[in-house]
Amino acid sequence: MPGTSANSAVTRSTLSRQIADALRDEVLAGRLQPGQEFTVKQIAEQYGVSATPVREALVELCAAGLLDSDQHRGFRVHRFSVDDYREMVEARSLVADGIFRRHAPLGHTALLRPDPDVGVVLVSIRRRGEAAVRAARAGDLDVLIGYDIRYWHELGRLVARNEHIAGFLHRLRVQAWAFSVPYLRAERELHGWLWSGHVELVDAVTRGDAEAAVGVVRAYNAHALEWADRLETRLRRSG
């Protein structure tokens, strides 16, 4: 029948996306640990699906930097270093700073595009930010990760006005969480290291205040680097 192969490809693509999302969540939750190995066959059996969508999902996660592929041993969760994390923070800091600085000389309204839907998007972002703040203050890492990733992705798309830049920042954020989660779970006072400036940042964006937004983002990245320094010291002492 005409269209049958196309429908099959769409179904496989949807399934592949669902598997990729599920495995990404496993990595971000720390249930798939850095260095952990598995095969296409194992994942296919786990989800009760054929090998093709699983292979596509795993290749996608390799492209996202979360997995490594070994021709003979299958796949493994990528192991990021503290230096990798610092470079992620530096990269997102430079890009975010450039985004906000680009609009600063143009006046307070330049941060937001002249679109009637912007207000609706900002309300959605602020709600995610409020939920992220509550989770951060409660030390609820599982809830925080989901809201934080969506918050930054939506905010990045709104302010950057460039899907490539927003996608790059999203990739960095997911990788940063993938690195951080196993170590954050070992923190005795977790809430002290979970950033909670989401609402302050979205309020600055809503006002069109690029200078204030830059200040919040810089403080956030300084906080991340401080945690990285502390983590490195702890790892050096234990290793």
pLDDT in tens, 130-184: 999 999 999 999 999 999 999 999 999 999 989 999 999 999 999 999 999 999 9
Task: Read off the amino acid at residue 102.
Answer: R
The count of structural domains within the chain is 2
Q: Are residues 61 and 109 in the same domain?
A: no
DSSP letter, residue 177: H
Query: 201 phi and psi, to 5 degrees?
Result: -70, -45
Cα torsion angle, 5, 9, 11, 15, sign = positive
CATH value at residue 46? 1.10.10.10
Has residue 105 got a pLDDT over 60?
Answer: no
Q: Are residues 89 and 194 in the same domain?
A: yes
- pLDDT at residue 110 in the model: 61
Q: Are residues 97 and 70 in the same domain?
A: no
Q: Evaluate whether 53 touches 19 at the Cβ level (below 8 Å).
A: yes
Q: Which token pair is 135? A: 């989770």
Q: Are residues 209 and 101 in the same domain?
A: yes
Query: 196 phi and psi, to 5 degrees?
Result: -135, 35
Final residue in a domain of this structure, among 21, 49, 77: 77
Q: Are residues 32 and 102 in the same domain?
A: no
Q: Residue 11's domain spans which residues?
A: 4-77
Q: Are residues 99 and 42 in the same domain?
A: no
Q: Are residues 166 and 49 in the same domain?
A: no
Q: Minimum mean pLDDT among 13-17, 170-174, 199-203: which range?
A: 13-17
Q: Are residues 105 and 208 in the same domain?
A: yes
- Read off the pTM: 0.88
